[in-house]
């Protein structure tokens, strides 16, 4: 697949997500207020939906996962595949909160170790700090 075709495919996937969000917002507005006031509340509903989820992530799913995503849409638990995926990801994070806490702790340790390595690389030969090298002993 050429780079141009890949770009077109990414754009189409992005458009599908936007369409899903718009459909979901319209359904939500109709459920809340009825069809007669849909126009008044659609903008508010769309803004609310977009503000709650600001990031777009495109994912590829296997058949079983897609079936679960579609099950939530078909059951009217959510209004779109995008909402379904966001819901399932959120629930998975909640269910594994302890694991994600441990991962965050490890990431903090890794960041600290990387910073220590950067500092080591900035030390002059012989292990002296920049102040010691200039004759300014910090003690």
Q: Tokens for 72?
A: 């939530």
- What values do phi and psi take at 58, rounded to 5? -95, 130
Top-confidence residue, 139 or 72: 72
- pLDDT tens for 26-82 read 666 666 655 555 555 555 554 454 456 778 888 899 999 999 999 988 888 888 888
Q: What's the CA dihedral at 121, 123, 127, 132 to 10 degrees?
A: -170
What is the rounded CA–CA span in Å between residue 100 and residue 135?
47
For residue 87, give every residue at least 6 positions away whose Cβ sits within 8 Å of its Cβ, in sequence order, or none.
72, 77, 78
- pLDDT tens for 76-107 read 888 888 888 888 888 898 899 999 999 999 99
């Amino acid at each position: 697949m050429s780079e141009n075709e890949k770009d077109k495919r990414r754009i189409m996937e992005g458009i599908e997500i936007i369409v899903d969000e718009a459909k979901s917002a319209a359904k939500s507005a109709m459920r809340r207020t009825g069809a007669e006031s849909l126009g008044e509340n659609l903008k508010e509903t769309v803004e609310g939906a977009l503000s709650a989820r600001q990031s777009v992530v495109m994912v590829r799913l296997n058949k079983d996962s897609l079936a679960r995503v579609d099950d939530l849409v078909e059951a009217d638990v959510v209004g779109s595949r995008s909402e379904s995926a966001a819901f399932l990801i959120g629930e998975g994070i909640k269910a594994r909160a302890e694991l994600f806490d441990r991962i965050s702790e490890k990431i903090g340790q890794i960041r600290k170790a990387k910073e220590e390595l950067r500092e080591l690389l900035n030390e002059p030969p012989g292990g002296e700090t920049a102040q010691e090298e200039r004759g300014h002993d910090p003690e």
